[in-house]
Amino acid sequence: MLPTIVIITIFTEIFSVGVLLFTSFAFGKKFFEQKQKKDFILSLALFSFAIYPCLIIISQMLYNLGTPLSSLIFIQRLISYNLILDAFLILLFIKFRFNPKMINIILWIFFISALTMIYRVGASSISLVYRVEGVEPMVNFSIPTLLRPVWSNTWLLLSIVSLFFSFKKKGAEKTLLLYECLGSFLVFSSVLPTIAYLATQNNYYLLISWITILSGTILLTLAEIIPSKSPLAKSPFSFFRSRILFKLVFIFVLIIVILFEITTLVTLNLSKQALQKSIFLSYNEIAKNIRDQIELLDTPDNDALQNIVENKKIGRTGIAFVIDSQGNIIAHPDKTRVFIKQNFKEIIYVKKALSGKSGSGILGEDDFGQIKAGAFLPIRKFGGALIVEEPLKDAFYEMRQLETNSLIFVIIGLTLTVITGLILAQSIESPIHKLTQGTEAISHGDLSAKIDIESSDEIGKLALAFNKMTRYLQDSQDRLILSEKLAALGTMSAGMAHEIKNPLVSLRTFSQLLLSRWEDKEFREKFAQIVPAEIERINKIAESLLKFGRPSKPEMGKVNVNIILEEILTLFESECKKNNIRLSTKFTELPEITGDPQQLSQAFVNLILNAIQAMDKNGELIVKTDIGEVVQTDYKEDSLLEKGAIKAIFVEISDTGPGIDEEHLKSLFDPFFTTKVKGTGMGLPITLRIIEEHKGSIKVKSTVGKGTTFIIMLPQKFGEN
Q: What is the pLDDT of residues 327-344, one digit of tens each?
A: 888 998 888 888 888 888
- Check whether residue 387 and residue 476 sit in a common domain: no
Q: What is the pLDDT of residue 109?
A: 92
- Check whether residue 592 and residue 687 sit in a common domain: yes
Q: Show Cβ contacts of residue 328 under 8 Å, excluding neighbours closer than 6 positions.
A: 341, 342, 343, 345
Question: Does residue 66 form part of some domain?
Answer: yes
Query: Which CATH number covers residue 609?
Result: 3.30.565.10
- Check whether residue 297 and residue 206 sit in a common domain: no
pLDDT, averaged across the chain = 80
Q: How far apart are CA 459 and CA 455, in angstroms?
A: 7
Q: What is the pLDDT of residues 299-328, one digit of tens each?
A: 878 888 888 888 888 888 889 999 988 888
- Check whether residue 283 and residue 213 sit in a common domain: no
- Check whether residue 284 and residue 229 sit in a common domain: no
Q: How far apart are CA 368 and CA 389, in angstroms?
A: 14
- Check whether residue 499 and residue 644 sit in a common domain: yes
Tell me 587's DSSP state. P
- Indicate if the pLDDT at residue 550 is higher than 60: no
Question: Does residue 436 form part of some domain?
Answer: no
Q: How far apart are CA 73 and CA 137, in angstroms?
A: 11
**SS3 (DSSP) at 257:** helix
Q: What is the pLDDT of residue 635?
A: 42
Neighbours of 143 (CB within 10 A): 12
Q: How far apart are CA 554 and CA 479, in angstroms?
A: 16
Under the banding of pLDDT at 50, 70 and 90, the label for residue 652 is very high
Considering 194, 225, 241, which residue would you say is the last residue of a domain?
A: 241
Q: What is the pLDDT of residue 499?
A: 56
- Indicate if the pLDDT at residue 192 is higher than 70: yes
Question: Does residue 526 form part of some domain?
Answer: yes
Whether residue 298 contacts residue 326, with contact meaning beta carbons closer than 8 Å, is answered with no
Which range (78-82, 291-295, 679-683) has the least confidence?
Answer: 679-683
Considering 330, 362, 396, which residue would you say is the last residue of a domain?
A: 396
Q: What is the pLDDT of residues 193-227, one digit of tens each?
A: 888 887 777 888 888 998 999 899 989 998 998 88
Query: Which CATH number covers residue 163?
Result: 1.20.1070
Question: Does residue 502 form part of some domain?
Answer: yes
- Check whether residue 237 and residue 332 sit in a common domain: no
Question: Does residue 180 form part of some domain?
Answer: yes
Under the banding of pLDDT at 50, 70 and 90, the label for residue 70 is confident
- Check whether residue 342 and residue 491 sit in a common domain: no
Q: Which of 238-252, 301-315, 533-547 has the highest mean pLDDT?
A: 301-315
Q: What is the pLDDT of residue 462?
A: 80
Considering 353, 374, 396, which residue would you say is the last residue of a domain?
A: 396
- Indicate if the pLDDT at residue 161 is higher than 90: yes
Query: Which CATH number covers residue 298?
Result: 3.30.450.20
- Check whether residue 622 and residue 477 sit in a common domain: yes
Who has greater pLDDT, 254 or 346? 346
Q: How far apart are CA 39 and CA 193, in angstroms?
A: 30
Neighbours of 525 (CB within 10 A): 10
Q: What is the pLDDT of residue 642?
A: 41
- Check whether residue 540 and residue 601 sit in a common domain: yes
Q: What is the pLDDT of residue 487?
A: 59
Q: What is the pLDDT of residue 86?
A: 93
Residue 556: left if φ>0, alpha if ψ -120 to 50, beta else—which one? beta
Q: What is the pLDDT of residue 546?
A: 57
- Indicate if the pLDDT at residue 452 is higher than 50: yes
Question: Does residue 559 form part of some domain?
Answer: yes
Handedness of CA 329, 333, 337, 343 (dihedral sign): negative
Give Cα 135 to chain centroid, integer Å.
Answer: 31
Q: What is the pLDDT of residues 118-148, one digit of tens each?
A: 988 888 888 777 665 555 677 777 777 788 8
Question: Does residue 264 form part of some domain?
Answer: no
Q: Burial letters for 456-495: b for 16+ Cβ neighbours within 10 Å, e otherwise?
A: eeebeeebeebbeebeeeeeebeebbeebbeebbebbbeb
- Indicate if the pLDDT at residue 380 is higher than 50: yes
- How many domains, the chain? 3
Who has greater pLDDT, 36 or 532? 36
Give Cα 425 to chain centroid, integer Å.
Answer: 14
Written as one string, the DSSP assignment of 448-487 is T--------SHHHHHHHHHHHHHHHHHHHHHHHHHHHHHH
- Check whether residue 640 and residue 709 sit in a common domain: yes
- Indicate if the pLDDT at residue 675 is higher than 70: no
**SS3 (DSSP) at 520:** coil
Q: What is the pLDDT of residues 28-37, one digit of tens each?
A: 888 988 888 9
- Check whether residue 195 and residue 288 sit in a common domain: no
Nearest alpha carbon to residue 30 among 644, 720, 638 = 638
Q: What is the pLDDT of residue 630?
A: 79
- Domain of residue 47 covers 4-241
Question: Does residue 62 form part of some domain?
Answer: yes
Q: How far apart are CA 544 and CA 521, in angstroms?
A: 35
Under the banding of pLDDT at 50, 70 and 90, the label for residue 587 is very high
Virtual torsion, Cα 372, 377, 383, 384, nearest 10 deg:
0
Q: How far apart are CA 556 and CA 159, in angstroms?
A: 53
% of the chain with per-residue pLDDT over 70: 81
